[in-house]
């Protein structure tokens, strides 16, 4: 069989390399624009024709590396890219502070503690620490994702958004969350309202029977949740006589993280 000549192969290789380089320029431009960016601005920042930028962004979106808000038409970094960053970047200040907090909470309560962060309309389990109680509630592994509002930590990230924003986000995630709550209408909204009223989020065994969890948000200086700390345990260890102590431990660690982050230059 006749082999293709090197001269025929080079243009294809060169074209693939150019596409990768152009896509990388677009991703770098998105990193610099955390609040989202218009197609026109991204094309200009990456020195690309608008049509070329649109084609590459479409390919990146299909792979989960880029997302496009259907209402604002703005592009932002995608779930897959953000999740990979959280899982791999061990040196993250929040992750380091969160790990220390989880270790203290797990030791104090004996149960499993979680660090959860928001990725768009989803939540990501960024870290987990097991306590010494023999019956574990390992309902989430590091890297697991759920719709925002599903699970105590994820619910805290939704419930403590500023007024107006949580309603808008809740309307977007409700169709995805309902299957976790047995398609009961209004469940997510009720859980959010209860969390805001009592100052912490709670999952009273709605997702996995026999398991309950409570969570508190870790807030930015601007008053929005950047992460959530939670504890999950079997129902028998989540009675009304014990929950206040667990919530107090979580709030104490959340404040420690906030103070450390706000003091950072």
In CATH, what number is assigned to the domain containing residue 206?
3.30.450.40
Query: Cβ neighbours of residue 16 under 8 Å, at least 6 residues apart?
Result: none
- From first to last of its 265 residues, the chain has per-residue pLDDT tens of 444 444 444 454 666 788 899 999 998 888 777 567 899 999 999 999 999 999 999 999 888 788 888 778 888 877 666 666 655 544 477 888 999 999 999 999 999 999 999 887 889 899 999 999 999 988 889 888 899 999 999 999 999 998 888 898 888 898 888 888 877 788 999 999 999 999 999 999 888 889 999 999 999 887 888 899 999 999 999 999 999 999 999 999 999 999 988 765 4
Per-residue model confidence (pLDDT) at position 139: 87
Per-residue model confidence (pLDDT) at position 235: 95
Domain boundary among 77, 107, 124: 77
Per-residue model confidence (pLDDT) at position 15: 67
Distances (CA, A) of 208 to 25, 144, 171, 204: 43, 16, 24, 9
Task: Count CB-CB contacts under 10 A for residue 207.
Answer: 17
DSSP 184: -
Per-residue model confidence (pLDDT) at position 82: 63
Let me know if residue 83 belongs to a domain.
Answer: no
Let me know if residue 51 belongs to a domain.
Answer: yes
Per-residue model confidence (pLDDT) at position 90: 43
184 with 202: CB under 8 angstroms?
Answer: no
Distances (CA, A) of 125 to 43, 109, 143: 33, 19, 5
Residues 56 and 108 in one domain: no
Residues 139 and 22 in one domain: no
Residues 155 and 198 in one domain: yes
Per-residue model confidence (pLDDT) at position 94: 82
Let me know if residue 93 belongs to a domain.
Answer: yes
123 with 117: CB under 8 angstroms?
Answer: yes
Burial code (b: 16+ CB inside 10 Å, e: under 16) for 208-219 equals eeebbbbbbbbb
Residues 129 and 219 in one domain: yes
The whole domain housing 184 covers 89-263
- Per the structure, the count of domains in the chain is 2
Residue 164 in 3-state DSSP? coil
Nearest of 126, 117, 98, 128 to residue 253 by alpha carbon: 98
Residues 190 and 109 in one domain: yes
């Amino acid at each position: 069989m006749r082999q293709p000549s090197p001269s025929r192969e080079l243009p294809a290789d060169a074209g693939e390399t150019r596409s990768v380089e152009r896509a990388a320029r677009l991703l770098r431009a998105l990193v610099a624009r955390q609040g989202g960016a218009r197609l026109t601005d991204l094309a200009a920042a990456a020195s690309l024709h608008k049509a070329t930028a649109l084609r590459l962004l479409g390919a990146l979106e299909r792979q989960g590396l880029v997302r496009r808000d259907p209402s604002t038409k703005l592009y932002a970094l995608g779930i897959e890219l953000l999740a990979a960053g959280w899982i791999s970047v061990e040196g993250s200040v929040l992750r380091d502070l969160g790990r220390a907090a989880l270790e203290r909470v797990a030791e104090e309560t004996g149960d499993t503690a979680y660090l959860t962060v928001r990725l768009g309309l989803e939540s990501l389990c960024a870290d987990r620490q097991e306590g010494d109680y023999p019956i574990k509630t390992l309902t989430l592994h590091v890297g697991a994702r759920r719709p925002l509002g599903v699970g105590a930590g994820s619910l805290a990230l939704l419930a403590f958004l500023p007024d107006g924003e949580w309603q808008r986000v809740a309307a977007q995630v409700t169709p995805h969350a309902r299957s976790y709550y047995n398609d009961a209408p209004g469940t997510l909204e009720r859980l959010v309202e209860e969390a805001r009223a009592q100052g912490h989020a709670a999952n009273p065994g709605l997702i996995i029977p026999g398991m309950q969890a409570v969570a508190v948000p870790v807030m930015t200086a601007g008053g929005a949740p950047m992460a959530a700390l939670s504890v999950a345990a079997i129902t028998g260890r989540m009675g009304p006589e014990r929950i206040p102590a667990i919530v107090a431990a979580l709030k104490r660690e959340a404040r420690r993280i906030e103070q450390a982050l706000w003091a950072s230059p």
